[in-house]
Amino acid sequence: MVAARVYYGWVIVAICAVTLAATSGARFSFGVFLKPIADANDWDRASLSFAITLNLILGGLLQPLAGAIVDRYGARLIGTLGALVLGIGFLGLSVADQLWQYYLLYGVISGIGVAATSTVLSAKLIATWFVEKRGTALSMASSGNAIGQLLIVPFATWLLISRGFATGFVAVGAIALCIVTPLYWLFVRDRPRTGETETTTSLRSPIDADGLPVRAVFAHPVFWQLTFGLTVCGITMAFPSTHLMPYAMDMHMPEMVAGAALGLAGGLSFPAALAVGWLADRFGRGRVLAVVYALRGLTFVVLLFATTEAMWFLAAIALGLSWTGTVPLSTAIAADYFGRKHLGLISGLMVMAMWVASGVAAFIAGFIYDHSQSYDMALVGNAFLGLAATVVSLGIARERLTPRAPTPVTSRGVS
């Protein structure tokens, strides 16, 4: 008997996971290097954090454009170019010694590269390749963020201690250039071939194939609920990606303990992503999304009182369980309600809000520290936002689990 061939959509999922691992590793490694770079050059943290703000805001603003290009031309080309640009930016950072160079290389060039290799690509690709297991597939791809944390962040911490941050920048850039770029160009296919389906019973509804008009999406409350949640996600992820290592050092946690905690969060977020996707496909994506945001808020409550290593690792557990669930679940819900035709643009708009909010929050947290010598206000604010996103997501949980068009409007509105 000939073994059944593996559905190529799972290959696409694996490539998306590797791409997001490289992107995640690039973003979080800069947070690991932030304090040593600032100390070595006698810069304050807010000034150096502004490079992260530029990266996230520019990357966020480019998300709708990246999504529209993916909708029109496919993900293969833009993903390949994005990985190439990201790698070049990080190689340049290895020799940077002026603030403006960090703003250019990380804030602008790497921001473009990250935007072009973001979840907008995986959202469109995987929603095209999957229907019945869409939540599971998107969560598996997003687990690449966890893999980046689990492998690249501890590796970057080790390089920081043993070789310095310049070597770390070279290593991260080499991953993007030598692994992701050729992988994307050689193996990504933008859509299944004729007759190639997720399962023998996989059926696509008309709304999934055609999609709602973009203006109709804007009239739908679920779009705004998802966008609010992802905005909160961006704000609450800005702190761990940028200030968690400096906060740990301020709390007199050894560098390797802090790095191990981030690695633990990354390690947990990998199985958590798989579990979140499986649960969402079976029990409702809105309900599971609300639980994820509740865990995110809990993370900051624990961090506020994390004076021992045990509390630090408890916060890492809560963070890891909520790390990768928000974007894939939000994308899956968007695909269910709005279809695939404009999903790149739609997801790009939602992720833009997340990235811009994250960039602003990264700077604000640094500003709060520089003026109060404490991160307490930032931690409290993030905890409250996690609660708010939980409540909003419960509104989605009460919606029907099948795609639904918006309420009809007058002739002056959406036709």
* pLDDT tens digits, one per residue of 127-157: 888 877 887 888 888 878 777 766 777 777 7
Instruction: Look at residues 16, 15, 73 and name the one whose alpha carbon lies nearest to residue 328.
Output: 16
* Measured CA distances, 255 to 124, 262, 378 (Å): 38, 11, 21
Q: What local confidence, expressed as pLDDT, does residue 392 receive?
A: 92
Joined together, the tokens standing for residue 415 give 């036709």
Tokens 């999922």 belong to residue:
13
Highest mean pLDDT among 26-35, 78-87, 135-144, 196-205: 78-87
Question: Domain locations in the chain?
Answer: 9-191+211-397
What is the tens place of the pLDDT at every residue in 218-249? 888 899 999 999 999 989 988 887 777 778 77
Distance (Å, rounded) from C-alpha 269 to C-alpha 402? 27
Chain-wide mean pLDDT for the chain?
Answer: 80
Distance (Å, rounded) from C-alpha 183 to C-alpha 103? 29
Joined together, the tokens standing for residue 304 give 């506020």
Contact 15, 141 (CB under 8 A): no
Query: pTM, whole model, 2 decimals?
Result: 0.72
Instruction: Look at residues 414, 403, 320, 321 and name the one whose alpha carbon lies nearest to residue 127.
Output: 403
pLDDT at residue 45 above 50?
yes
Assign residue 164 a region: left if phi > 0, alpha if psi is -120 to 50, beta otherwise?
left
Question: Could you tell me which CATH number the domain at 9-191+211-397 has?
Answer: 1.20.1250.20
Across 347-376, b (16+ Cβ under 10 Å) vs e yields: bbbbbbbbbbbbbbbbbbbbbbbeeeeebe
Distance (Å, rounded) from C-alpha 386 to C-alpha 188? 36
* Measured CA distances, 79 to 18, 57, 333 (Å): 12, 19, 24
Distance (Å, rounded) from C-alpha 114 to C-alpha 100? 19
Instruction: Look at residues 234, 163, 177, 195 and name the one whose alpha carbon lies nearest to residue 19.
Output: 177
Q: Which of 120-134, 150-164, 352-366 has the lowest mean pLDDT?
A: 150-164
Distance (Å, rounded) from C-alpha 136 to C-alpha 328? 9
Q: What local confidence, expressed as pLDDT, does residue 211 receive?
A: 67
Contact 199, 136 (CB under 8 A): no
| DSSP secondary structure, 280-325, as one string | HHHH-HHHHHHHHHHHHHHHHHHHHT--SHHHHHHHHHHHHHHSSS
| Gyration radius of the chain's alpha carbons | 20
Assign residue 413 a region: left if phi > 0, alpha if psi is -120 to 50, beta otherwise?
beta
Average pLDDT (206-218) is 69
